[in-house]
Amino acid sequence: MSWSVPVLLRIVAAYVVGPLLSKPLVDTHPQRTVVLLQFAGCLAMALPLALARHQLQVDWRMVAVGFGNGLAAYCYYKAIAMSLSRTALFAFWDDLLAMGLSYGILHEGQFLNARLLLGIGLSVGAVIGFTVHSTHAQPPSEPSAARPPRRLYLYAGAYSLLVGGGVFFMRYLGVQGTGLGTFLVNWYGGVVVAALLLVLPSPDARAALTAFSRGHLVRLGGLSLVTLIALSAAFLAYRLAPQTVVQPLFLVGEMVAPALLGLYVFAEREAFDRWEYLYFGLGLAGGLVVALSVV
């Protein structure tokens, strides 16, 4: 199988279908509850796969990394509940961290080139400009509710750091020949443990768990399936190709697709001014340069 097949599948599942399913849920329900139910569904679907492939083994390293990604999922949902498009612009840090780790530990730096570095530089510059501009004091005439709070950037940053380490670990396991079933069960087991620790201390945990309508439960089931497909595709892509080849394409997908969905499907463009549009366009242009660097 060509590595391009799981890459394309990952981009469509994780960055197009995933946000379309998850954004309405995290706008309506507590994000910690969505994380728990979503990934409990993933674990329930991964268990039969691991049993069928005789790969039901416990690996505490994967459980630990899955735990960190459970916290990352919570941070991501908190961020996109405030703004999907802004979160997309900041979410590329996880890709840069993963590529940096692959460069330093797996010695995959030979796949870097000038265009890739140029695209990364454009994206980083756009994020810095966007952040500086957005954190300036707003004019008195502008309603405070028109812009997301500054904690969005904290959630997006925490998400990127946690996911970056997990993404590198996926590539490392792919190189080591870890079975897909073993990976999925341990990863999702760790995520569910993290979600339980987030949900159980809440005084309204039981009410939150039973507050989903039938339609939202169906949406949750679809989100669990899409999440399972996306993670499986990423794991296969990291097994088939170096991370410094695959990750730039994921970087572009993670920036461009959710950003466009946020702007035009969830009508977030009304909260942008012309300078933010400029920085946003610069960031997307950098992402496209990154994509072209590996074609």
Q: Mean pLDDT throughout 79-85? A: 89
Lowest mean pLDDT across 40-49, 187-196, 223-232, 249-258:
249-258
- Please say whether the beta carbons of 290 and 252 come within 8 A: yes
Whole-number pLDDT of residue 145 = 47
Could you read off the pLDDT of 215-239 as tens digits, one per residue? 999 999 999 999 999 999 988 888 8
Whether pLDDT at 256 is above 70: yes
What tokens appear for 242 in the block? Answer: 């170096």
Exposed (0-12), middle (13-18) or buried (19+): which is 137, by Cβ within 10 Å?
exposed
**Of residues 140 and 213, which shows the higher confidence score?**
213
- In the chain, DSSP assigns E strands to none
When computed from its CA atoms, the radius of gyration of the chain, rounded to whole angstroms, is 19
Whole-number pLDDT of residue 135 = 60
What tokens appear for 228 in the block? Answer: 């399972």
Q: Would you list the DSSP string of 174-188? A: HHHT--HHHHHHHHH
Could you read off the pLDDT of 113-144 as tens digits, one per residue? 777 778 878 877 877 777 676 666 455 444 44
Whole-number pLDDT of residue 141 = 46
Could you read off the pLDDT of 106-121 as tens digits, one per residue? 665 555 677 777 887 8
**Of residues 121 and 8, which shows the higher confidence score?**
8
Could you read off the pLDDT of 181-202 as tens digits, one per residue? 999 999 999 999 999 999 988 8
Q: End-to-end CA distance of the chain: give it in Å, rounded.
A: 18
Q: How far apart (Å, rounded) are the C-alpha atoms in residues 196 and 208? A: 13
Strand, coil or helix: what is 216? helix
What tokens appear for 199 in the block? Answer: 């949900």
Whole-number pLDDT of residue 147 = 58
Q: Mean pLDDT throughout 234-261? A: 81
Q: What percent of the chain has pLDDT over 90?
A: 39
Give residue for tokens 């768990």.
Answer: 209
Nearest alpha-carbon partner for 287 in 80, 95, 85, 159: 95
Nearest alpha-carbon partner for 294 in 110, 126, 123: 110
